[in-house]
């Protein structure tokens, strides 16, 4: 793109609480034509196993993102000046058929010619998003932030739920099994076999307690070594955060990361070959004072900023 990027609405002219709630008050994709980075919503929660409501996540995160500002001091980048970032709206997915929804999401994501930061929706959506990314980049490294493994085989006989996307992704060959990591894992499991099967799939685990004891810098260095120079996809389930920082989610677990820890680990990924990302499982019906959606909006902003850093201005 030869022209200067079109940025957010100027908050000194239009108050932040006024006007359409696109992500960070950015232009819509149809207003700019093409973009380097696109933020897209997937309001689908047909794969949840406990509390529903993540279908309302994209709208809540966009609303909370009104307060984001254009310069990121932690990464020393003005992402909306460096590259064209746009809001690509929502992907319409069949709310009554998980298989059809997965196909809808994969097709729509594949049709957007930009690096995507996707706002869910439940974690089922990660599978079609990974398929779309792998079609362009081949098998990718995965950095998965979550309280849960999401590598179970089936749930009530169903192979496609928010607890199974990464097992399916490994089986389909869209992930590089030499560079798979979970961060923030905690809470009770069905048995030791859960961890054993996860390990056989190729995942390394950094628990929430590991982050506490080892610290953000040491954890980030270890993750970067595992990722190497591979194309990287980052998937953030907001329940990686402690319920004190993210009450508005479907399957909360005590003892999680702080929002500060999560954001600092993400910022430590600067220079990695990030090719796509998602932020999922924001369920605003269980939120208080937008705590969860504000946290998710900042996570998405950091991911957009990391992608902007990779592009030449």
242 is in an annotated binding site: no
**Which residue, chain included where needed, has tokens 């997965």?**
102
Neighbours of 198 (CB within 10 A): 23
> How many residues would you count in the chain?
313
Q: What is the DSSP string of 174-197?
A: -EEEEEEEEEEE-S--S-HHHHHH
CA dist 301 to 24, 83, 145, Å? 8, 14, 16
Which of 234, 237, 313, 294 has the alpha carbon at shortest distance from 270?
Answer: 234
| DSSP 8-state code for residue 257 | B
DSSP 164: S
Residue 150, marked binder = yes
* Distance, C-alpha 254 to centroid of its chain: 21
Which of the 8 DSSP states describes residue 104? H
Q: Is the peptide bond before 91 cis (omega within 30 degrees of 0)?
A: no
Which two tokens mark 229? 């120079």
Name every residue whose Cβ is closer than 8 Å to that of residue 192 and which is 6 or more positions away in sequence: none
**45 among annotated binding-site residues:** no
- Distance from C-alpha of 161 to C-alpha of 153, rounded to nearest angstrom: 10
Determine phi and psi for 59, rounding to 5 degrees. -70, -35
Q: What does DSSP assign to residue 157?
A: T
DSSP 4: P
- 239 assigned binding-site residue: yes
Spatial contact of 261 and 167, defined as CB atoms under 8 Å apart? no
CA-CA-CA-CA dihedral for 50, 303, 296, 59, to nearest 10: -90
Could you tell me which residues are annotated as the binding site for Mn(2+)? 123, 146, 148, 150, 237, 239
Binding-site residues sit at 123, 146, 148, 150, 237, 239
């Amino acid at each position: 793109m030869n022209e200067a990027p079109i940025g957010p609405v100027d908050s000194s002219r239009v108050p932040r609480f006024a006007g359409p709630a696109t992500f960070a008050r950015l232009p819509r994709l149809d207003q700019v034509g093409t973009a380097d980075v696109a933020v897209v919503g997937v309001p689908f929660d047909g794969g949840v196993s406990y509390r529903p409501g993540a279908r309302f996540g994209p709208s809540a995160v966009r609303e909370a993102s009104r307060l984001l500002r254009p310069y990121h001091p932690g990464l020393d980048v003005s992402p909306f000046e460096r590259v064209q970032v746009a809001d690509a709206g929502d992907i319409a997915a069949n709310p009554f058929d998980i298989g059809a929804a997965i196909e809808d999401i994969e097709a729509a994501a594949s049709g957007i010619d930009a690096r995507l930061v996707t706002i869910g929706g439940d974690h089922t959506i990660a599978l079609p998003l990974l398929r779309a990314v792998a079609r362009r980049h081949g098998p990718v490294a995965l950095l998965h932030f979550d309280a849960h493994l999401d590598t179970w085989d089936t749930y009530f006989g169903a192979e496609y739920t928010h607890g199974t996307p990464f097992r399916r992704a490994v089986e389909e060959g869209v992930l590089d099994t030499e560079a798979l990591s979970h961060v923030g894992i905690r809470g009770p499991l069905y048995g030791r076999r859960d961890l054993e099967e996860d390990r056989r799939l190729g995942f390394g685990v950094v628990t929430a307690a590991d982050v506490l004891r080892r610290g953000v810098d040491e954890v980030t260095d270890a993750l970067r070594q595992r990722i190497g120079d591979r194309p990287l996809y980052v998937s953030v389930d907001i329940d990686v955060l402690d319920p004190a920082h993210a009450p508005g989610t479907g399957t909360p677990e005590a003892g999680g990361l702080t929002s500060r820890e999560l954001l600092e680990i993400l910022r430590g990924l600067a220079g990695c070959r990030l090719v796509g990302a998602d932020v999922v499982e924001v369920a605003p019906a269980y939120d208080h004072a937008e705590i969860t959606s504000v946290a998710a909006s900042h996570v998405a902003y950091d991911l957009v900023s990391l992608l902007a850093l990779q592009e030449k201005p």
